Amino acid sequence: MTQDADASPEEAVQPKIFRRTEIRPSALDDDAVKVVSRLRRKGHETFLVGGCVRDLLLHRRPKDFDLATSARPRQVKSLFRNCRIIGRRFKLAHLHFDDKILEVSTFRRRPDQDGGDEDDLLITSDNAFGTANEDAHRRDFTINALFLDPEADCIHDYVSGIEDIERRIVRTIGDPLTRMKEDPVRIVRAIKFAARLSLQIEDATWQAMCDAAADLDRAAPPRILEELQRLMRSGTALKAFQLLRDCGALAVLLPEVSDYLASADRAERTQFWRLLEATDSAVRCSGKPLPVPLVFGALFYRIVEHARIASPEEHGKEADLARLVESVIGPVLRRLSFPRAESGRLKRICVVQRRFAKDAPKRSFRPAVFLRQEYFADALALLRLRCVASDEGWDTYDDWYERGNEGSDSAAPDVATAEKTAKDDATTDVARSDTGDGKGRSRGRSGRDRDHAESPNKKRRRKKSRSDGRSARPAREPEMPPLEVVDLDPSQVPTYGSLLGDTGSDDKIEREAPKGKRARKKEKANAEPYAPPPPPPEAVAPKREEDPNV
């Protein structure tokens, strides 16, 4: 890659242009290149920007391709029929294709802070349009502010991002502390890039992250949750959470995890980090992100287990353990605005881990029903992560894995019984988790109890319906009467076909086979009109010639 000698040294006004990027055309997305070409033909300055350019320069495969252009969102929509405009504070144009979505953003600049506290740098509005130079300087890190022109095969660098990629460092654009206070989520993003791309964080940027960590509680919970999910599913969660702990961000984002690491002994902390390491190994081996309840179950399991061991006599029953799990991780999930479905599954797979143990309570526990629960796969996957982390319990895991495979085959014939049993077990589990007595009373009634509980009229109607059902059976068809005996005169000429029809003809049998209504109608339409056969010639006696002599 070479720098253009004619580029202006004033990088705040003109970019450094690097030609011959050595990026293979096959590594680019064809649809993204076509979008760039069409916008340029209409007179709009357009580039590939952000993470895709960074990953291409680091010889990694980009997850997606983003574009930045001088065209406004409405202008982009007028050029592409598959365009949808999204966002309120930050309007974007999404181009929908069969298997992907290309994100097109308009060049923006730093918003003006009108009024308010001068010391409060938090950005609340970011929809001010600008130029390519202004758009580059408003981005978070230098490695994310590179603009690639795929047609000319050159990179426009306004902030010395190429140099930072060659040095493999993460550095903010402008004053580090100011940029972190503008958007505290950049602390988590810097750690994500450093852990996933094996980069080093610049010293000034790291110090600013430590100083601005307390501002993370002002960030929007959905953004925090999104970044934490990316960390846990990136395959580098171990290194990322160690960096979060070192800069003080973990105490703000997940104080429960931070307090556990501060109070647990060395062996427990080792198990916690090994469980994250096992999660990273599973992500790298599978080649795709793991389910969100599973990865967060690996994050919180040791904390739940630590609380259970602290008071084992109070959490002997599963309902008691469910309340413990709710008290430990419930506040975290509500604070992060965790989706209800994923939150419920996360707590469930943490509660049912004790069912895998050999000393699990046998009373009211039915393994066959447990195998058919929808959360069983995630619960078994969490058990496997625990076995990888501790290198123990593999016999238990293999046993339940074989049970799961056998249960899926043996449960197929009796589907109705399986569904009824699973429904009863789910009702019992919910009752035990939601009620304080933990007894899980069944809502069903036996036949005798039901008869006593029903009203006389209802009971009479039920018995009448049973009797009606028994009387509705089809009656036996009467036997056909015997055919009449017909005496045939052998002296007469036989007719065409017998009285019973030509039963020996294959064509006749095929024509008179039972057919559907449409087949009969079609055959009737195509059939030739019936013409009766000609009568047989009458037997005429030969004429005698009259003898004239008689």
Q: How does pLDDT run across 193-223, given as a tens digit for each residue?
A: 999 999 999 999 999 999 999 999 999 999 9
Q: How far apart are CA 68 and CA 64, in angstroms?
A: 14
| Phi, psi of 378, rounded to the nearest 5 degrees | -65, -40
- Report pLDDT for 148: 95
The confidence band for 173, taking pLDDT boundaries of 50, 70 and 90, is very high
Residues annotated as catalytic are 64, 66, 140
User: In 3D, which of 163, 132, 168, 145 has the Cα closest to residue 45?
Assistant: 132
* Amino acid occupying residue 4: D
- Report pLDDT for 418: 39
Sign of the dihedral through C-alpha 241, 245, 246, 247: positive
> Is the overall model pTM greater than 0.85, yes or no?
no
Q: What is the 3-state secondary structure (H, E, C) of 283-299?
A: HHHHCCCCCHHHHHHHH
Other Cβ atoms closer than 10 A to 477: 6
Q: What is the 3-state secondary structure (H, E, C) of 457-479?
A: HHHHHHHHHHHHHHHCCCCCCCC
pLDDT digits (tens, 9 = 90+) for 397-413: 999 998 888 765 544 33
The structure tokens listed for 528 are: 């030739």
- Report pLDDT for 433: 41
Other Cβ atoms closer than 10 A to 1: 13
Architecture of domain 1-167: 2-Layer Sandwich (3.30)
| Phi, psi of 34, rounded to the nearest 5 degrees | -65, -35
173-253 classified as CATH 1.20.120.400: no
- Report pLDDT for 528: 66
- Report pLDDT for 20: 79
Span 436-441, average pLDDT? 42
- Report pLDDT for 331: 94
| Phi, psi of 16, rounded to the nearest 5 degrees | -80, 130
- Report pLDDT for 482: 61
Q: Do domains 1-167 and 173-253 have the same CATH topology?
A: no
Q: How far apart are CA 373 and CA 418, in angstroms?
A: 11
pLDDT digits (tens, 9 = 90+) for 470-527: 444 445 555 556 655 555 555 554 444 444 444 444 554 455 555 567 777 777 777 6
Specify whether the CB–CB gap between 232 and 200 falls below 8 A: no
Compute the mean pLDDT over every residue in the chain, rounded to the nearest whole number: 79
308 has pLDDT over 70: yes
pLDDT digits (tens, 9 = 90+) for 116-157: 555 555 554 556 888 999 999 999 999 999 999 999 999 999
82 has pLDDT over 90: yes
- Report pLDDT for 491: 56
CA dihedral 72, 78, 82, 86 (to 10 degrees): 40
Domain ranges of the chain: 1-167, 173-253, 255-439
Crossing angle for the helix pair 255-263 and 237-247, nearest 10 degrees?
Answer: 90
- Report pLDDT for 411: 41
